[in-house]
Chain A
């Protein structure tokens, strides 16, 4: 350490204060004052850099911090400052290195050690975190935070027993436990209790729970835990009593009902079912306002009993007019028998209402006119759920005629049309709903989404900003600022459909950035939660953060982004838009040239307009988007590498989804990484050996291996050979045609999942592609034949002949440059009379 004279030494201490108090400008001045006399004082130089960092001068910041370090390599302050700088730039790896240097110089610096531990938990370096936490505790054993920090470290390492020990030792040292429940103490003992549970010692956890009850504030947690423990210990009667108490506090909590059900030990036998329904009947009487008590019996009842209960339930809800009734009911449709029973009931109501204004023709009651309305609405949703678009439309149109002012009806009409393939009609219907209630943000957002589905970007942007804050410079960007991911995703998917890869990628990267921000956001909680003792919430936060990227939004963004990058790799000249399906390369080139010219012209106009808009935005203090076209992403040299960046988190967190590995194959086979491609195939195979796309990929893999026969390294070849039979069975590499024939045969026999006579359209598509790949020159007619199987046998294929699958089948025909595209379109138009894609 290079000593400063006393005057400057004091000034330096003040600088540290300035930093703590966030007085960065004042600090900067002070630092300059010292440097006037001692221009080479390393620690002051480093601090100056740190002040610059907080004044948004990154370059200067790094310059000065590095300079400071050069002048004083042995100063822990310089290293600490360097670490802070890296940390503020989220470069945790480098920051960790700096901290560890600092700690080598000053082994017992509490502040640095604490900061070090925050980074360790943030980067999930549990072992190192525990070590640091242990050191901290050894240095300051009187500090509660350090005891708890160590317990958490052991917990996260998967050693809850050690955590329990630490907390027990600590609690023994406590002399005066607050006699009244104290929040912080309460949270600590509850955390302690949850740790005991994690060790698997349920009896111990229950005993501990009894001993801490008097110190706990969160009594609900105690009651829930006790009931849960009693059930786990098979002390059924006590568990039942506990759950009944819980129900008296909240008779709408499904978990309490499920606990009660389990603690009564009732199974699936007819006898037990009757008993269970009796239990619910009593509960309904005790808690007449509980919806759960009325809804749950529908889950357990079967046969006649179900019909009776469902009848009563539906009548009540239709009379009351509960818009969410169908959403609530449709989960029961997993059981086909229940689905049919509900359909019969609802159709019966409608007939009776039409005739005598009652739910039955007994004449006992007259229902309000809204009863018929909600019944029609329910039936429309019911048939839409079954994708019977025609019937669904009939009922929804009747409902609209009955009461044209009800927003939900128009929205549902939109959904039905969407499912039927009429995206423009769908958008118009939902827009009508929106115009009925302009202050409903939900319907406004829905409408925006439907506009994007119809690829009407301009209309969508105009609609969505209706709810943006009026004073914003760039209201559309506000949706990004507010992390409105649904909008980014829908925009991105619309761009992708239109072949605008740059713009699409820009949107998908936005979603990725939001997730990065979520991860960053946890940083402050590492310290905060320990200080405030919100330990249970903290642990669940850590677990949530670890699973974050398995969220459907991230998965969707990642899948789309991978698709974009793969298509960039395949077609460096630009992606195909939907219009270009089935063109020859020469035609495509011509089409692209034409498009490019039009684009250039449009761009020129747009730029002039944009300049005006940009001016406006700058005037209002907003930030102008420098790259609205997403050119930055199009310029990448390594699209497959970029794709892998999106894929990695999925491989970790969404490994149980077959899409992850199917996508992985697409990337690896293009990178010609045969072993990784093989690994992806094996994972997919393990998840669902019958998956349709997998067959196509298997054929592609075999063809790739065949083609490179000579150049494949023997080691690689031997691994492939080793796994061959688990993927391809007894088929040799030379007999891919036989392999596909067997696949097709299997599906024709309907042996899939044991369902007789049921064909699968996705498998037809996959087989067609496979056949055409095996011998492109000869097999076109054969591939066509396979695809047209779906039109031959209605009863066999009707179920999987969805709109999406038909669009995919036609795309496949187009890519085969088949002459039978029109023939197929005509057939599909009969199956989907509303679908605009099939109308000539």
Chain B
């Protein structure tokens, strides 16, 4: 399996902070076979890794765990996750965030948060199929400070380091971040 890349949250433009939120519309949308091209296009420019056909086939199957986000009706960001069996447990699953990113000009407008909030919210809902989700995790390039801050602010903790996670990239090291979800029981 190809290594999942870090979420790309770096390089922000500070003046976006001044933009009033009334000046634009934001909305989440489903990933469908018809707009899959837009998600592919996003991931191609956002991440240094090329994803396989089977990756996108799975994306179409995960329902609320793959979304794209619209800014003034233009697709500018997206998130793709997959569910995995928690190692050593049959009663719970882990949710892995494979990609989460927003096009550079549209950062610092709360779009990344909106995507992540959506994922976390749905991860905590009682699952329609399979066991419940106990943990959300992802990998981030080690020196991507913006991204690390972003996730840590939202309750993620670094749990493991992989010095050679991205062998084909210049910076090969990655951190695994995870957030344990509190079950109702």
Contacts and interface: CB of A to CB of B under 8 A. Distances in A.
Looking at B44, B72, B106, the one whose CB has the most chain A CB atoms below 10 A away is B72
Interface string B7-20: 00000000110111
Contacts of A439: 34-35
Contacts of B24: 368, 370
Interface stretch (A188-196, A403-411, A636-644): A403-411
B19 A438 contact: no
Given A366-B18, A368-B24, A403 B35 contact: no
A334 B19 CA distance: 37
B45 interface: yes
A43 B25 CA distance: 76
B38 A403 contact: no
Given A321-B73, A368-B24, A403 B34 contact: no
A436 B37 contact: yes
10 smallest A-B Cβ distances: which pairs? A369-B105, A439-B34, A435-B37, A438-B34, A405-B75, A436-B37, A366-B18, A405-B38, A368-B24, A366-B19
B41 interface: yes
A323 to B, nearest CB: 10
B35 A436 contact: yes
A357 B15 contact: yes
B53 interface: no
Contact of A405 (B15, B74, B109): B74
B185 to A, nearest CB: 42
Interface string A437-481: 111000000000000000000000000000000000000000000
Contacts of A372: 105
A405 B105 contact: no
A373 B15 CA distance: 16
Interface string B25-64: 0000000011111100110110000000000000000000
Interface of B: 15-16, 18-20, 23-24, 33-38, 41-42, 44-45, 71-76, 103, 105-106, 109
Contacts of A367: 19, 23
A368 B74 contact: no
17 contacts: A319-B23, A357-B16, A370-B71, A370-B72, A402-B103, A403-B105, A405-B41, A405-B75, A405-B103, A406-B75, A436-B38, A436-B41, A437-B34, A437-B37, A437-B38, A438-B34, A439-B35
A402 B107 CA distance: 12
B106 A369 contact: yes
Contact of A369 (B34, B41, B71, B73): B71
B105 A402 contact: yes
Contacts of B16: 357, 366, 369
Interface of A: 319, 321, 356-357, 366-370, 372-373, 402-406, 435-439
B13 to A, nearest CB: 8
Looking at B18, B41, B45, the one whose CB has the most chain A CB atoms below 10 A away is B41
Contacts, number: 69
Given A369-B71, A370-B71, A403 B15 contact: no
B43 to A, nearest CB: 11
Given A366-B15, A405-B41, A438-B37, 12 more contacts: A319-B23, A321-B72, A321-B74, A357-B15, A368-B24, A403-B76, A403-B103, A403-B105, A404-B45, A406-B75, A437-B37, A438-B36
A104 B70 CA distance: 75
A461 to B, nearest CB: 21
B153 to A, nearest CB: 23
Contacts of B36: 438
A406 B42 CA distance: 11
Nearest to A433: B37
A762 to B, nearest CB: 43
Contacts of A435: 37
B72 to A, nearest CB: 5
A437 B31 CA distance: 11
Contacts of A356: 15
A406 B37 contact: no
B33 A438 contact: yes
B144 to A, nearest CB: 21
Nearest to B38: A405
B56 to A, nearest CB: 12
Contacts of A402: 103, 105
A366 B23 CA distance: 9
Looking at A369, A370, A403, A437, the one whose CB has the most chain B CB atoms below 10 A away is A369
A140 to B, nearest CB: 60
Nearest to B33: A438
